[in-house]
């Protein structure tokens, strides 16, 4: 019995050693598998990051190329705009001389008193058309000057705004004998302004009111003043200006988009530039109930 018990002990130790060896081998293989899986996972992450980096690089190159293309297109558009402005300026300048000859010739014929009634009416129409064309040319020249960076030239001197309003209204009445005007003068109309430019500003607003306002209601021109500034208000009744057009109403060539317009769409733009040249501004409100109101604020 003792010898039998002694023979079982070595076999038990050997078995335990094999089990332990197998366990170590299994543990080693598990570690190797984990390392291989970790390495494979890391390789996948690295490859994914490389793909992401390449995709980001492509996006950045695409954005850069798109930006360069946009810059090129903008430069080309700026060049086209500059060429157009120069062309308009040169055209307007060159048209003034022959148009002045037409105006002077028509005035001379009317003053001479040798025309019959029919001929005199025809020459008077020529003179009015020539005056209208001359105003358009001056607006084109002013527009070109502001677009090319020259700004609106302002020559300030003391002048009477009531007198400017009176002159503009008299001219409007002679050109529109069937229309009526309501005028309210300023209590202190004296300021340091450019008289000719303010006449141009007010004439543009009054012509706009006559063209787009109701012919059955008067055009209002009201002056409000305080010690620091004067406000010119030009009102007319009629169809309201569409709300989507109000934000761009003073943009050049936009005026012609509102209903039928006999002008070239620069009158309101020029009026705004004159006001800003004096350190002021123009705004507009319009509704079916209240009509359309342009307000010009001019510091003294």
pLDDT above 70 for 3: no
CATH architecture, range 157-299: 2-Layer Sandwich (3.30)
What is the pLDDT at residue 85?
A: 66
81/273: higher pLDDT: 273
Confidence of residue 66 (pLDDT cuts 50, 70, 90): confident
Copy the structure tokens of residue 207.
């012509």
Rounded to an integer, the average pLDDT of 57-69 is 87
Confidence of residue 241 (pLDDT cuts 50, 70, 90): very high
pLDDT above 50 for 235: yes
Q: Where are the domains of the chain?
A: 1-151, 157-299
pLDDT in tens, 158-201: 999 999 999 999 989 987 888 999 999 999 999 999 998 999 99
145/123: higher pLDDT: 123
pTM equals 0.60
What is the pLDDT at residue 256?
A: 46
What is the pLDDT at residue 160?
A: 96
pLDDT in tens, 77-128: 777 776 666 666 666 666 777 887 888 888 888 888 788 888 888 888 888 7
What is the pLDDT at residue 93?
A: 63
Rounded to an integer, the average pLDDT of 41-57 is 88
């Amino acid at each position: 019995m003792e010898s039998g018990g002694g023979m079982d002990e070595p076999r038990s130790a050997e078995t335990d050693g094999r089990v332990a060896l197998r366990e170590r081998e299994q543990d080693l293989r598990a570690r190797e598998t984990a390392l291989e899986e970790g390495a494979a996972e890391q390789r996948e992450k690295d490859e994914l990051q490389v793909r992401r980096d390449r995709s980001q690089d492509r996006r950045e190159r695409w954005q850069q190329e798109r930006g360069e293309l946009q810059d090129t297109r903008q430069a080309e558009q700026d060049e086209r705009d500059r060429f157009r402005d120069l062309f308009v300026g040169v055209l307007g300048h060159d048209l003034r001389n022959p148009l002045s000859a037409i105006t002077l010739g028509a005035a001379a014929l009317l003053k001479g008193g040798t025309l019959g009634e029919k001929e005199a009416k025809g020459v008077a129409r020529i003179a009015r058309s020539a005056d209208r064309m001359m105003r358009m040319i001056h607006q084109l020249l002013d527009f070109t000057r502001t677009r090319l960076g020259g700004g609106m030239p302002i020559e300030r001197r003391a002048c009477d705004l009531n007198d400017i309003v009176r002159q503009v209204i008299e001219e409007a009445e002679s050109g529109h004998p069937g229309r009526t005007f309501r005028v309210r003068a300023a209590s202190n109309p004296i300021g340091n302004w450019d008289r000719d430019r303010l006449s141009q500003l007010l004439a543009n607003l009054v012509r706009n009111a006559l063209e787009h306002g109701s012919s059955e209601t008067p055009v209002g021109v009201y002056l409000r003043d305080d010690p620091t500034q004067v406000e010119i208000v030009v009102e007319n009744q009629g169809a309201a200006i569409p709300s989507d057009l109000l934000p761009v109403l003073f943009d050049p060539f936009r005026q012609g988009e509102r209903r039928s317009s006999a002008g070239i769409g620069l009158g309101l733009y020029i009026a705004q530039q004159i006001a800003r040249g004096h350190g002021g501004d123009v705004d507009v409100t319009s509704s079916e109930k209240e009509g359309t109101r342009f307000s010009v604020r001019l510091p003294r």
